[in-house]
Amino acid sequence: MWSFGRKRKAGDKIDIPQPLTINHGGTPEEARKIGAKWAETFELLGGLGPDQAILDIGCGPGRMAIAIGDRFDWRNDYTGFEIVRDDVAFARRTISKAHPTFEFVHIDAYNVQYNPLGKVEPTAVRFPADDRSIDFCFATSIFTHLFAADSAHYVREAARVTRGTFLSTWFVIDEGFPKAIEAGTSRFGFPHRDADGVAYEHADAIAAAVGHDWSAIQRYFGDAGLSCDLHRGAWRGDGKGARHSQDIIVARPR
């Protein structure tokens, strides 16, 4: 793990300390391993490469930033934004300090799970990027914590800034879901629905795991002028050969 007491040398690995990774699941070692696998997925499915402009929606303390930097030799112009202030502070003083083309922005948006005192409605968030300036925009495990209006707005914002690929992860609920429930293979049952019909797992922690109907997701992307290719994840137990648990949507401007 990185010690704050000594000077960083070229080639030093950046590790996210336990109190920050715990918010996103797992140990520092797991964060590094999961990040590396995602960076590979970004290349395989999203065409990510060095020298591309990147926007990371809800970047946390920088799990994906570190993995992308390691994979592409810190050659990207990367911006991550996040609603948890401590995550952004950590990412700035470690990642940006060593790699200044990796920037982190704090936006004080409300999320009942992650930032319950947030002052900005998610539907009022403007992503920190100019129109059509981003080659690879991504959101890993963000729409799994957002409800209908916020999701529609975030997809619209992603469409505004993206000129290349927008990759995002979801829990997609479609006609296969009841079959997975019946078979007992699904990690989530999503027993609750809010007024807009969005599904959630825990009545006492509604944003901890959120599932969206496939028809609603297609509408968000269609209305935003994006194509929408679904790559099924493993969470339902029926995604054969899936690399990750969550479903992945790869989208491009039409």
Ligand X SMILES: C[S@@+](CC[C@H](N)C(=O)[O-])C[C@H]1O[C@@H](n2cnc3c(N)ncnc32)[C@H](O)[C@@H]1O
Contact call for residue 145 and ligand X (CB under 6 A): yes
Minimum CB–partner distance for residue 114 and ligand X (Å): 4
d(C-alpha 55, C-alpha 138), whole Å = 6
Looking only at residues 171 through 210 of this chain, which bind ligand X when binding is defined by CB under 6 A?
Answer: none
Query: Which of 145, 160 has the CB closer to ligand X?
Result: 145
- The rounded distance, in Å, linking the Cα atoms of 54 and 48 is 9
Determine how β-strand 247-251 pairs with β-strand 162-170: antiparallel
Reading the block at residue 211, the tokens are: 């599932």
N- to C-terminal Cα distance for the chain?
Answer: 44
Contact mark string toward ligand X, 10..29, x via CB under 6 A: --------------x-----
User: Which residue of 16, 67, 84, 158 would you call a contact of ligand X, by CB under 6 A?
Assistant: 84
Closest of 248, 220, 247, 203 to residue 42, by C-alpha: 248
Question: Residue 227: which of 176, 158, 174 has the closest Cα?
Answer: 158
Which two three-digit tokens encode residue 217? 């997701």
- Closer Cβ to ligand X, 111 or 162, answer by number: 111
Calculate ∠ Cα 25-27-28, nearest 5°: 115
64 touches ligand X by CB under 6 A = yes
Q: Is 151 in the site for ligand X (CB under 6 A)?
A: no
Q: Does 122 bind ligand X (CB under 6 A)?
A: yes
If one asks whether residue 60 binds ligand X (CB under 6 A), the answer comes out as yes
In sequence order, what are the residues at sequence separation of 6 or more whose Cβ sits closer than 8 angstroms to the Cβ of residue 154?
57, 122, 125, 139, 142, 143, 146
Stretch near ligand X under the rule CB under 6 A, chosen from 66-74, 82-90, 127-135, 233-241: 82-90
Could you say whether residue 211 binds ligand X (CB under 6 A)? no
Contact map string, positions 39 to 58, toward ligand X, x by CB under 6 A: ------------------xx
Residues touching ligand X, count (CB under 6 A):
19
Q: Considering the rule CB under 6 A, would residue 212 count as an interface residue with ligand X?
A: no
Task: Return residues touching ligand X (CB under 6 A).
Answer: 24, 57-60, 63-64, 82-84, 109, 111, 114, 122, 140-142, 145, 150
